Each structure stands twice: as C-alpha cells, then as structure tokens.
Structure 1
Amino acid sequence: MDTFRMRKEQRLQAGTDRSRAAGVDSAISGLVDRLNQSDRYCSTSSCSGRVLLLGGSDQVEVQKQNCPWLFVTHQKCRKEDVIAGLQKAQDNAVFKFEPFVLHVQCRKMEDAQLLHSVAINSGFRNSGITVGKKGKIMMAVRSTHCLEVPLCHQGTVLVSEEYIDYLVQVANQKMEENQKRIERFYSGLQSALSVPMSPEPLDGNVSTAASVYTRRRRHRTAKKERGNGELTAHSDCESDLSFLMGTT
C-alpha cells in the first residue's frame, strides 16, 4: 500500500478533522464526502464559512492561549446576536467573517493542479499548493473576501449600534457570495472527477483532466503576453502557480 493511501485510510477511519470544530460542517459534508470518495484526495480540515465575534487581549501570548468565541454562526447573523456577544466581552472583541476553507492532501502533483484549477475558477483566488520536505502535497482552497473589524477595546464598545447593523449586512452579503462559490466549486469538482484519469502517466503524458488544466494555464500565459509583452510564447505554462515549500 502506498504512503498516501495508508495515510488516507488512517485519517478517514479515525474520523478526525483538524479544524477547531473537529468535524465537517453540515453545509459542506456532501462536498467533502465526494472529494474523499476519489482515490486522489483526502481532506484534512475544513470550514464552510462563519461569522464570529472573537474575544481576546492586547497581549499576543494571551490571545494565542485563550481565544474565546463570544458568538459564532455558519449562517447569516443578526445584529441582536452580535450585541449580545459584545455584552460578554471582558477586554477586546473583533467582529469577523471568514470564508470557506478546505485543506486537502493530494496523491500527486497533477491531482493538486486539477483541484487548484477548480478552486480558482470557482472564485477561491487565494488557493495554493504546498509541497513538504518529504513530498507531502497539500492543496488549500481559500478566498480573499474576509472581514475583520474591532468593536470593543479594554471593555469599551467603540462603535454605534447603527454601525453594527451595517457590519452585519456586509457580513451577510459575504456569506451569500461564499455559498455561491461553494456551489460552483462543488459543481466543478464533480465535473473534474468525472473525467477518467490514468493511474500512472507514462513518458510525461498526463491525463485528459490534467491536460485541461495545462491548456488553461497556457491560455492565461498567452493573454498576459498580449497584455504587457513581458512573457514569451514559450514560457512555462505553470509559471504563475506558486509552490510554497513547507514542512507539512
């Protein structure tokens, strides 16, 4: 049994998720199950997106150790819930919207590239691939439409109730957009996984699905060349994909 398959079986049997909730949110359980049904991927942590009021202190060390959630929801929120959370704040409080995030271990680089393409096309433009020192390939699906606003400092609320109402409206709009991106990602994932892929590409030939990814990269490179003249027609088709060297 190869290392990836062994790790996947151990993780799925244990039923662990490294997110703070230690489980998969119901809103994305179907998506995560579909991903794990493929022998190419194994999810490690996830969050469907959330609105929360985070308590804490000015001291960084204390914040890391004790980070109380004064209020949290994975759906749209109400102004009254945020105000009720603020009443629990003993020091500082920050209102946040955090979009959908998904971390996936991938069997091969071609599999990670395919998933990265699906994520980017779905609107998750902060997604990326990390390759560990031991060759472990991780793909992170991330977005940039976050929100973070301090509401309370040293026990004093800094904003008006009208401003809290405005923030709630902004956060709820972001939650709606977040759900649309998740639906696009799920649809793109199903389409990508429906394309047959040879288990062991030979002589540098990749599968049909990976070839689609490569053609899209070449198309984007050509567009950049026409736009600014800085890239040549023979530029590496993967040059705009960042590979972060980590220790995961």
Structure 2
Amino acid sequence: MSAFGRRKAQRLARADGSRKGGLDERAAAVVRLLNGRARFCTASSCSGRLVLAQGSAADANSSEIQKKNCTWLMVTHETCTQGDVMTALEKATGDAVFKFEPFVLHVLCQELQDAQLLHSVAINSGFRNSGITVGRGGKITMAVRSTHCLEVPLTHKGKLMVSEEYIEFLIHIANRKMEENIRRIDRFYKHLELALKAAASANDSPPEETEKNRSVYIHRRKRKTIQEQDVHTSPKDHNEELEPEDDIESSLDIFAEIMI
C-alpha cells in the first residue's frame, strides 16, 4: 500500500468529529464516489445549511469567529419557513445571526494532477471559489467552495432588530440560495462521474492510443485559438463567466489530458 493509501485508511477509520456525527444525506453520494477511488480521500464536507446562531456580545465585537462560544438556535440542510426562524428567535438571549452556508468539500489528493481534475469539475459545476493548497510535507488538498453565502444579524442582546416583514424577505432569498446550492451539488456529482470515467479510460489506453488522443486534443486547442483570434469581442465579453450549466462532456478531453 502506498503512503497516501495508508493515510487514507487511517483517516477514514477515524470517528466523525462533526456536530452531526455523520454525513449529510445530500453530500453522501459525492463523498462515496471520491472515497471509492484510490487517489482521493475526503477530509470534511457539508451539503449546505441554514443556521440561526447565537454568540455572546463580546464575540460580536471580536475580529474572529468564536465557534466554541456559539449556540445553534436552528439548523437545517433544507429550505425553511418564517415560522421556523421566528420560533428559534424566541430562544435568543444574545446576538443572533441568520446564515446560509453553501456546500463545501475538502478532498486530499494523491497527486497535483488529481486535484487539478477536481478543480476543473468544481469550477464547471458553479463552485467558483474552489482552490488547491499544498501543505507541509506535500499534502495536497482540493477545496470545493462557492461564493453565494448569506449572513445577516437579527438580534442584539436578545432584542429583535428587524421587522417580521424583513425576516420573511430574508428567508425567501435564503431558500432560493439553498435551491441553487442543491442544483450545483447535482451537477458536480454528474460532472465528476464523467470526468473520472474519462480519466480512467485515458490511463487504460495503450501508449499509441494515448498519444493519438493527446494529438487530437492539441489540434483542437490550436484550432480553437485560431478561431478566437478571428473573432472580435467586446471588453464585456471577456469579463463574463461561463454558466455552470456548460456541458461537461465538452471538457472531457481536458480531464483526460490532466490524468495522463
């Protein structure tokens, strides 16, 4: 067994240290798909959640988040109602904050090329705050993250600081973000399946077939570059991001190239 394989076995044998003590149902399929591959090991995950959290008054003025002093008045991995939030606010005695936290996933990768593959999948699925870090000892971690968060203070020292009409409006926005979060997770899973299959096929190909695929990929990239040089685009066009729904199959050659 490789050194990465031993570290993976040790990590997966540990008890779950999260508050929930287990996988979120919506994140479970992605986690199992990755852990079923020898080159990946998930380190932590959350499928996304709506939280009403309370800290002390001192924590509210702190530049750092004091998670140890934080009390969850409400938490759900689904959409919520105004009644859910108002009931939870009745328990507030300090500074309560309503949050939407999107899907997050941290994955240990055997090689940098493995992390690059996951990063490409994440970006194409809409998780555009994703990134790769290389720690001491060469530990490679790929983080799947999104930017569509939400955090709004609602009470101060137990006193509600906003109207119920505003809370209704806020919950509507948060639920829309949760629904988009769910769609992105589904896209990520489907795109990941295709990318891993493409990478496996590339690794299983004979050397001459691999070289042929590489030549086709290079030829396509050169042709695309030439075509792009012939097209005059406005400055606005250069700043626009690709939509998350872009077909992942058009990028499979890239995934295969990464894994060769």
With the shorter chain as reference, the TM-score category is 0.7 to 0.9
Deviation at 1:18, TM superposition (A): 5.0
Equivalent residue number for residue 166 of structure 2: 163
Contact 1:91 1:153 in 2 (8 A): yes
Letter in 1 for 2:85: V
Q: 1:71 to 1:117 in 2, by over 3 A?
A: same
- What whole-Å deviation, never above 9, does each CA across 1:103-133 have from its counterpart, x for those lacking one? 0000100000000000000000000001002
**Map of 1:6 onto structure 2:** 6
Structure-1-length-normalised TM-score:
0.78
Aligned twin of 1:192: 195
Question: Who is 1:239 aligned against?
Answer: none
**In the TM superposition, what whole-angstrom CA distance separates every residue of 1:40-68 from its partner, at most 9, and x where no partner exists?**
11001000000010101232379343100
Structure 1 equivalent of residue 39 of structure 2: 40
Distance 1:121 1:20 in 2: 31
Letter in 2 for 1:198: N
Identify the residue that residue 97 of structure 1 maps to in structure 2: 100
- Counterpart-to-counterpart distance in 2, 1:133 and 1:40: 19
Residue 48 (structure 2) pairs with residue 49 (structure 1) = yes
2:139 matches 1:136? yes
- Determine the C-alpha separation between the residues in 1 that align with 2:114 and 2:126: 19
Q: CA deviation at 1:138?
A: 0.2
- Match in the other structure for 1:238: none
Note if contact 1:57-1:63 (Cα within 8 Å) is conserved in structure 2: no
Instruction: Please identify the structure whose Cα radius of gyration is greater.
Output: 2
Let me know the Cα RMSD of the aligned residues.
2.9
**Cα distance change of structure 1 residues 145 and 83 upon mapping to structure 2, 3 Å threshold:** same
Deviations 1:127-149 (A, max 9, x none): 00010021000000000000000
Deviation at 1:4, TM superposition (A): 1.1
Deviation at 1:22, TM superposition (A): 3.4
Q: Unpaired runs of 5+ in structure 1?
A: 229-248
1:23-54 deviation digits (Å, cap 9, x = unpaired): 21011211110111011110010000000101
More moved, 23-32 vs 66-75: 23-32
Alpha carbons 1:151, 1:158 under 8 Å: kept = yes
The residue that corresponds to 2:130 in the other structure is 127
| Higher-helix-fraction structure | 2
| CA–CA distance in structure 1, aligned partners of residues 172 and 97 of structure 2 | 16
Question: What is the TM-score normalised by the length of structure 2?
Answer: 0.75
